[in-house]
Structure 1
Amino acid sequence: MQLTHPQEITHFKDRLSRSRFVFCVDLEATCDEIMPGTQASSRQLSIQPKDMEIIEIGVIVLDRLSNLSMTAEFSRLVRPTSHPTLTSFCTSLTGIKQIDVDRAITFPTVNNELNVFLEPYLMAGAVWCSWGRYDADQLRQDCTRLEITSLLTALEHLEVDEFYSRVFGIPAPCLKEATESMGIAWHGAYHRAPDDARNLARLLAKLLERN
């Protein structure tokens, strides 16, 4: 794709300049939706946005001193507790099965494991990013509900979709379309957190190479 505002890449690099590590994060959560062709009045959503819970976390660590190479990754399934039964929409969207979350550990334990994973990188400076604002909002919602703290919420959060939009001067599409628009073949399953995080990392590295 043709760059329309290459200076935005320089601006984004400036925002990263004080941090050695970039955490590319993706979250999947419990969800429900009225499918096309179904009368919206025929049923209520079984899970409202305010009740969504994280069911999968994927994190890729990029090292700026090694040309944004992927140096580590973290991946966990999470067992929801407020609405432990996944909707058919959620299962269809993510491919995550009920048995997968039934066998998983709950978010407080996963969050502790994630904090332990992240901590060694923080001394050298770190930021985290995602495709859109959803991941930051969902993480904060789960932490607030459970009265726990994620090390991510203390770091600067960058929205890569906004960066993409500014660089190319167009509305940002979904992550998969944006990745493929950069000539990057999508790897893995879409709407699975580890795969989305890995593809986000590849997209970000490619964007930052463009100027």
Structure 2
Amino acid sequence: MKSSYEFPVCVLQWTDRSEEGRANLLEVVDEFRTFVRPTWRSTLSDFCTELTGITQEQVDSAPLFPEVLVNLEAFLVKNGLIEKGTRKRLKRFCWCSDGPFDIRDFVVKQCFISQVEMPSWVQGDVLDVRSVVLEWLSSQPALPTEGGLPFEGLTRRTLNISAQLNVLSLPKFEGRQHSGIDDTRNIAKIVTELARRDVCLLPNTAINPGRRWRWMGKHGQVLEEFLT
């Protein structure tokens, strides 16, 4: 999943799970995408629109965050991941994102701003895909680029989605970079390739729904003087 004014999800499912529980083939079986109408800083900046392609009209007509959670819950029920009504997980799954921030931090913050409790099906562990790719890359003796030179100087900060595709010898980024759904689809390709290479895919960061930031005031109020 990826983005702030946009909430996209690709569901990946194992297709070759053995009786011992081992598998390395993943495929996308469904997608969820919606824009989100902001209640704080509701006017998009020119920079945001230029970066993501999201327009003011798209977010103005979008559902508010609490409704997005309801719609996402119905999507998870449809895919057999959680039980309708009880919201209990029916399958073992985790959220994957490029870096920990989208699900670990942004959803926690938005639940505070919207004054809604984080659903139990959101809580749990997250797979930070960028960290997994960086760890895998550091274990490789030498990976040639198109110019025949090894990848040097790549850090967590510079290993964006395009760079991850590159080091895994996957086709270039498809779609518009920083578009939530396009980022998510490309992240799904990265996770699928990691699985194909027998990289162990385990959650590596946790969600803390009770975490508070200095800017959190009372009743969803944002104390802007504490924002950095």
State the TM-score, normalizing by the size of structure 2. 0.66
User: 1:68 is matched with which residue?
Assistant: 26
1:118, 1:151 within 8 Å by CA — same for their partners in 2?
Answer: no
User: 2:197 is matched with which residue?
Assistant: 210
Q: Which has the higher strand share?
A: 1
1:139 partner letter:
V
What is the CA deviation profile of residues 31-53 of structure 1, one whole-angstrom value per residue up to 9, with x for unaligned ones? xxxxxxxxxxxxxxxxxxxxxxx
CA drift of 1:152 comes to 4.6
Q: Does 1:171 align with 2:129?
A: no
User: 2:92 is matched with which residue?
Assistant: 125
Matched residues in 1 for 2:71 and 2:120: separation? 11
CA drift of 1:175 comes to 1.2
Gaps of 5+ in 2: 17-24, 82-88, 139-153, 199-228
- Alpha-carbon RMSD across the aligned residues, in angstroms, is 1.6
State the structure with bigger RCO (CA 8 A, min sep 6), 1 or 2: 1
Q: Does 1:144 align with 2:108?
A: no
2:122 alignment partner, SS class = helix
Matched residues in 2 for 1:118 and 1:99: separation? 27
Pairs aligned (count) = 161
Q: Does 1:188 align with 2:155?
A: no
1:132, 1:159 within 8 Å by CA — same for their partners in 2?
Answer: yes
Matched residues in 2 for 1:152 and 1:178: separation? 28
2:8, 2:33 within 8 Å by CA — same for their partners in 1?
Answer: yes
Q: 2:56 aligns with which of 98, 119, 122?
A: 98
1:110 partner letter:
V
Gaps of 5+ in 1: 1-24, 30-54
Between Structure 1 and Structure 2, whose CA radius of gyration is higher? 2
Q: Does 1:88 align with 2:46?
A: yes
2:95 partner letter:
W
User: 2:6 is matched with which residue?
Assistant: 56
2:95, 2:126 within 8 Å by CA — same for their partners in 1?
Answer: yes
Q: Which has the higher helix share?
A: 1
State the TM-score, normalizing by the size of structure 1. 0.71
Percent of residue pairs bearing the same amino acid type: 30
